[in-house]
Amino acid sequence: MRKLKNSELSRLDIDQFKETEKSPLIIVLDNIRSLNNIGSVFRTADAFLIEKIYLCGITAKPPHKEIHKTALGSTDSVTWEYVENTLDLVKRLKSENRVVLAVEQAEQSVSLESFEPVENQKYAVVFGNEVKGVQQEVVSVSDDCLEIPQFGTKHSLNISVSCGIVIWDLFSKMKLHRK
């Protein structure tokens, strides 16, 4: 077995990425304070052809040196927009027939492995602040809450890790794999 060189990976360039059909997934970052987490989410969004990232509240915006460190250029490929109020954005997305999924530990949350996306449905997935999580008012208007099963002593995962897990799971279940 031999590791592949970057030149052998057949990766899209930025122009090709922008022209490629995107996954029917949007990421909403609700008051994320860590610039490294924001950059990591951009990398995940690039990897899975996410339609758009919304940066809300205190979430920092590119260009920023600390975001760039972990984003590695994905802030140039992934479409993003800053919206001050997460609740207003979520209400707008719902009015556009987008199903809003908050990633949160909540009453009646759906365990991620049990969630089955509906074919041809578009989703917005909300990830919350590293300490406080998704705002309660946003959880209250979301269509569902997804919870990542955890079995250790801690009750949370880093937001960038949570994003990678959830987006891969949805991407995989929606059979969005490309060859």
Both structure tokens of 147? 């919870």
Determine the Cα–Cα distance for residues 109 and 98; give it in Å rounded to an integer: 19
Determine the Cα–Cα distance for residues 75 and 177; give it in Å rounded to an integer: 22
Written as one letter, the residue type at 158 is N
The pTM of the whole model exceeds 0.85: yes
Q: Which superfamily does 18-173 belong to?
A: SPOUT methyltransferase, trefoil knot domain (3.40.1280.10)
* pLDDT tens, position by position, 20-71: 999 999 999 999 999 999 999 999 999 999 999 999 999 999 999 999 999 9
Determine the Cα–Cα distance for residues 100 and 124; give it in Å rounded to an integer: 5
Determine the Cα–Cα distance for residues 124 and 24; give it in Å rounded to an integer: 8
Mean pLDDT of the region 122-126: 98
Written as one letter, the residue type at 131 is V
Determine the Cα–Cα distance for residues 70 and 55; give it in Å rounded to an integer: 16
Determine the Cα–Cα distance for residues 80 and 61; give it in Å rounded to an integer: 9
| Those residues with Cβ within 8 angstroms of residue 118's Cβ, 6 or more apart along the chain or in another chain | 99
Indicate if the pLDDT at residue 179 is higher than 50.
no
For the chain, the distance separating the N- and C-terminal CA atoms, rounded to the nearest angstrom, is 21
Indicate if the pLDDT at residue 174 is higher than 60.
yes
Written as one letter, the residue type at 104 is E
Mean pLDDT of the region 66-91: 97
| Residue 13, number of CB atoms within 10 A of its CB | 8
